[in-house]
Structure 1
């Protein structure tokens, strides 16, 4: 039976272990998974360690293995924190980290029994579906909030991981389950607004044609990955691309223009063989982070998660961690270049696959 209250109370022992190590001047070693949820999770825990003033180091890994864990042991940390993985490696973790206190914040199915030095915080122990209702970043956020209520400003990162793990399976592509508690925190703190709208990459930040071209979920045949074709498409249906002094974004369109665009895209996608479900994925709940600059990809929740995922997949996870820690300068510029390159690659691959299937 699902028990959110029991789940929330399960953070207290982890907080006690964390605080005990901090009071002793512990070095905290954080390892996390190399996707959007993992980077957001590692970012939350890095913020927590930074704020309490304890030494820490965070790395992003594709998977855990014995070599990685042996290297961690050689560093002699006082506390190891694993986020977005660990529950599936309990025997390996227990064997490698025998003499090191370890906390696992995960939402995946546990395999095996943890030894006494390994503590797990996992929604699955309390009947909460970790694949739909909360991601690892949400687990880490709830830990951070339990540790110090002022960490509520990290709520957006808790949502970014859930969006990155495609947990937007509620009505109109909304988040559900425990994720809604995090939404409530973010909204109450003035950090989040939501609306149902066209979902494109760069809803507020990109010119309309580029936003369409950069959208790969859903994949729009002939337009995803092709900005020139998207420009021609918009010109054909009569939607102006710019005002007097700047290019227009999707958020600039009025309701009539949005209806026209959706209708034209629907017809185009059906003609290209897409089914109705794929077409309707163009519409959904847009998550806007109000404290982020309107001109950056961090303003939109899905765009933020795509950026973190791209940094991880392109082997530049430190950029994503830097952004989670508040870097809006050099790391932000490099991350935007990285995500553009990643999008071009994915768009090219998907277009090639569709062409090859014909």
Structure 2
């Protein structure tokens, strides 16, 4: 089975923003209806921007805060559009474009082509809500939450003054469908650092493209001897997870389908110093703590042991472990099949900066 991602051809009707229903009464709507969440007064969240209360209200559901898409559009002034061809709503722009779709089982989402499965959007009384953690982690905002008053104050994050753009390569032939996208940075104060970062990202993207060309040529050779196979599919995407304190952190994702039950996806985390363009390792960030490696290994082992379907086998992190940063958080992750079944996705383990550096900042030497 091929990969199902948020920007595939699935229906999202205009009523999600306007307040109407998604579908006429029928099986599609009934399947969505099961996911409807009550918006009783006990769940209502007061939303503020820079301390000023706004008309739109959020929801507090199962320990998580949700904001309506209308808040993103009308208060945060994010562009919102509806593509009648793909039948998808697009919120935001460029590498911060959130795509929202509704299919028979619920709402799917991707950011810049990167499928989001760390949380899910919700439909309540015909209105579309997204987890605030997406707004915080990917869309350039931060929040102050008061559990006592159920008030969320939203503020722009203090980000680095750099520009990110996407380099793309798209091909569609009888052999394969190819949609590739990788990041490039500009307006970095140190031009040598900018070049170093772009070279690393471009080199890895070209390596994937060379692999694609080799696999397509092998497919052509197989067909020439009379064997048939369906067209291949290749995609790449990325998300920016941290852009503060002179540090840039992001994840790239390469997907390939060459037949069989499902495709395979590979992720890679990058964390760069904008000061000199260095690709940072864990030691560059947490090396002031002489025991950070042992702490991480012990905690990761314990968390993996408690993970359903864990294959076993983890002893310690390798020389170049996969990780990325979010606000105040280190996120370690592992590849598909590395320690868990394919269906479990990419295991991710979170560690607060404070737990590894109680008295210091991981960015002190990078300013």
For the superposition of Structure 1 and Structure 2, which TM-score range results when normalised by the shorter chain?
Answer: under 0.3
- TM-score, L = length of structure 2: 0.25
Higher strand share: 2
Higher helix share: 1
- TM-score, L = length of structure 1: 0.25
* Structure with higher RCO (Cα < 8 A, 6+ apart): 1
